[in-house]
Amino acid sequence: MSKWSTLQSRSFLESSARERALGLVDEGTFTEFVGPFDRRTSPHLEVLGEAVEFDDGIVTGVGKVGKTPVFVISQEGRFIGGAVGEVGGAKMVGTLKAAIAFADKIAAEFPNATDEEKPVVVISFETGGVRLHEANAGLLAHAEVMDQFQRARGKVPVITLIGSKVGCFGGMGFVAAATDAIVMSEFGRLGLTGPEVIEQEMGKDEFDSADRALVYRTTGGRHKYVMGDCNAIVDDTIAAFRAEVVKLAKLPVSAFEAMRRIGSEALVAKQLKGVALAAEMQPKDARDVWKHAGNADPIALANVPLDEFRSTVKRLAL
């Protein structure tokens, strides 16, 4: 494992789940929960004669950013594509439960605690959703995570980071959408139905999954930023993602409601304006929507350096 200081300049895209977890919080503050030494491996993979990981492909723990306790969930795409099974799902749920209970404890015992002393949850997604080897348990875990998110509302902000190789798809695509704030890099991808699955279901004419540019402009960070589906788009380093976490960690929990995309009747009404626009436009390509949002040359905009993109892009107003 690299030193904390060298982790900072590392590519987020290339980093392992543990490197991301360690590098996102302050140096030396991370305590891992149910880590590799606990050897909580998947019994279901074992029965199938498959290789197991001692952390089941997910790193969970708590660290600090300044004065803020930061609960971290970090998924490892290099182990079965970051897919969620019984153990990994329980680690996610357990971490969320611990964060909520900790927020309740601080509210009860430290009435003068400042906003920055109250916990946040950070989830670094890298997953295609349910692990098929233990599909039913993985599915049930997704429902539990969604339930914990609703329980966390108004108590603990949940921050999503997406910039890893596998992206964030399948059930975890809506799990991420249900969090308070979403930070992506331009290499991050977020969606429900992965490109291969759309092609398989709808045909190559609808979606050619081998067309990487098409895949990125449909689900990638820049597109999600135009759509308002992520709150910030950052450079591909651990330091850049960390800087966003530092910024968000100081905010009062109430400030996060305004960052959400879904989770209230008013937000559903707002999203329905987007759906009406989709029906009216019938876009053949994400670029059509970029144009509609006021970006005259979407092809150029997709290729300019990220700084320039951030300063010139027009985001879709709903």
Angle, helix 135-152 to helix 86-109, in steps of 10 degrees: 10
Element (H or E) spanning 216, and its range?
helix 212-219
Query: Closest separation between CB of residue 205 and other proteins, Å?
Result: 10
Provide φ and ψ at 244, rounded to 5°. Answer: -65, -40
Q: Restricting to residues 206-235, name those near other proteins by CB under 8 A.
A: 206-207, 218-219, 223, 227, 229
Which positions from 5 through 24 interact with other proteins, judged by CB under 8 A?
Answer: none
Angle subtended at Cα 75 by Cα 73 and Cα 76, rounded to the nearest 5 degrees: 145
CA 286/CA 292 separation, integer angstroms:
10
Residue closer to other proteins by CB (options 270, 310) is 270
Rounded Cα–Cα distance for residues 17 and 252 (Å): 28
Determine if 76 is a binding residue for other proteins (CB under 8 A). Answer: no
The nearest distance, CB 119 to other proteins, in angstroms, is 8
In the region spanning residues 244 to 303, those forming contacts with other proteins, defined by CB under 8 A, are 261-265, 267-268, 271-272, 274-275, 277-279, 282-286, 289
> What is the smallest separation between the CB atom of 9 and other proteins, expressed in angstroms?
27
Using the rule CB under 8 A, is 115 a contact of other proteins?
no
* Nearest residue (CB) to other proteins, 15 versus 76: 76
Residue of 18, 44, 222, 242 interacting with other proteins (CB under 8 A): 44
Stretch that binds other proteins, among 156-164, 168-176, 243-251, 296-304 (CB under 8 A): 168-176
Q: Can you tell me whether residue 33 is helix, strand or coil?
A: strand
| 307 touches other proteins (CB under 8 A) | no
Q: Which of 102, 243, 250, 310 binds other proteins (CB under 8 A)?
A: 102
Q: Which stretch binds other proteins (CB under 8 A): 16-24, 136-144, 234-242, 297-305?
A: 136-144
Which residues, 6+ apart, have CB-to-CB distance to 276 below 8 Å? none
Among 81, 164, 200, residue whose Cα is nearest residue 130: 81
Interface segment toward other proteins; rule CB under 8 A; list 13-21, 135-143, 248-256, 294-302: 135-143
**Distance in Å, CB of 46 to other proteins, minimum:** 10
Identity of the residue, 197 or 235, whose beta carbon is nearer to other proteins in the bound complex? 197
Cβ count near 95 (within 10 Å): 23
Q: Residues binding other proteins: what is the number (CB under 8 A)?
A: 97
Q: Which of 144, 211, 235, 257 touches other proteins (CB under 8 A)?
A: 144
Toward other proteins, which CB reaches closer, 108 or 296? 108
* Interaction mask 52-71, other proteins, x per CB under 8 A: --------x-x-x--x-x--
Phi, psi angles (nearest 5°) of residue 311: -85, -20
Q: What's the N-to-C CA distance of the chain in angstroms?
A: 45
- Ordered DSSP codes for 220-279: BHHHHHHHTSSSEEE-SSHHHHHHHHHHHHTS-GGGGGGG-SSSSHHHHHHHHHHHHHHH
- The residues near 243 (Cβ < 8 Å, ≥ 6 apart) are 234
Instruction: Compare residues 163 and 191 and give the one whose CB is closer to other proteins.
Output: 191
Stretch that binds other proteins, among 10-18, 169-177, 246-254, 299-307 (CB under 8 A): 169-177
Query: How far, in Å, CA of 253 to CA of 118, rounded?
Result: 9
Q: Specify whether the CB–CB gap between 110 and 139 falls below 8 A.
A: no
Shortest separation between residue 289's beta carbon and other proteins, angstroms: 6
DSSP state of 315: P
